[in-house]
Structure 1
Amino acid sequence: MTGRLPHSLRSDALDNRERILDAARALYAAEGLDVPIREIARRAGVGPATLYRRFPTKRLLVTEVFTDEMHACHAIVEEGRADPDPWHGFCAVIERLCELHARNRGFTDAFMATFPDAIDLAAGRRQTLDAIAELARRAKEAGRLRLDFVLDDLILMLMANRGIHTTSTAAQVAASRRFAAFMIRAFQAP
């Protein structure tokens, strides 16, 4: 459903749609997915009926809002997998995922299964986790990643990273980078 718009969408309707998406992106990034739909509509300058006309369910709105972040998440993992040194690639994935999730609280919620059956997010999440599992296997074979590392450790790390609360996005990212460095040390083989 993402990316396909009816050709007959008027310019004012298209503007409303983009304002809704921009408002949802900003609010979800700052506050997570618990933001009321009415607040998104208010911030977008439209009525709730207009929002529901464009996005009949919250699931559709969330999927549309986070499609780009899911692509970015997958690109991070693919770059890590492409690194000839699997440990270096694994560390880069941890650092960049923590930063991506620190910048957008709502994406962490969506990725962590708030809407596990949203088709685009569930498929993207599975693909990303499978790629991380393959990278982790290679890093273990290289003797650099703890043999007892499992994907649930990554999920726990993202949940803990989500719990970092600061006064600004910059402070959030800085704290997340520090947390990622601790996690990398914890994941490293003795």
Structure 2
Amino acid sequence: MNQRVKIHSFEVLSDNWYILRKATFDYLRNNGEWQTQTREVYDRGNGATILLYNLEQQTVILTRQFRFPTYINGLADGLLIETAAGLLDQASPEERIRLEAEEETGYTVQTIQKVFEAYMSPGSVTEKLYFYIAEYQSKDKLTTGGGIESEGEDIEVLELPFQQAMQMITTGEIQDGKTIMLLQHAALTVFKC
């Protein structure tokens, strides 16, 4: 544990969807003085995300779905283009991402490759994402995908030329951080652009 942090208390502010807590703690600053700080921390668990790619066809599989927070923060229709992803919910990252890929895109993935882990919004959210890539073939499509309706998912599956997906970052059509990170990783290591 970090000797520069002394936690005093956690107060649950909400546990309606996940847990929002207010933390009060002392932090030992670089100048040697202790400072009392408070932070709100949203704990929704850790997650995993995957970029499916087809090297021969030069394509990727992405999804498009309505995200209410993006809608109220200026994304006109609230429809965000993303890589398949989901919360771990007691599964290992590898187990979860295989399930999410099939549920959301309809593709079963054979060999997955972990590429990195990242905290996406460390100023207030505890979530760590596990990032994966996997090659897909047409024969790997088992269902139409679309997510699980009872979980509120209504997902459109997109198969896009890789270069078009990269251009969509520049045009602002793709604004999701995890998706941009995986597309850029693929540009450097898979498609070698």
Task: Give me the TM-score of the superposition, normalised by structure 1.
Answer: 0.28
Structure with the bigger percentage of strand: 2
TM-score by length of 2: 0.27
Computing the radius of gyration over CA atoms, which structure comes out larger, 1 or 2? Answer: 2
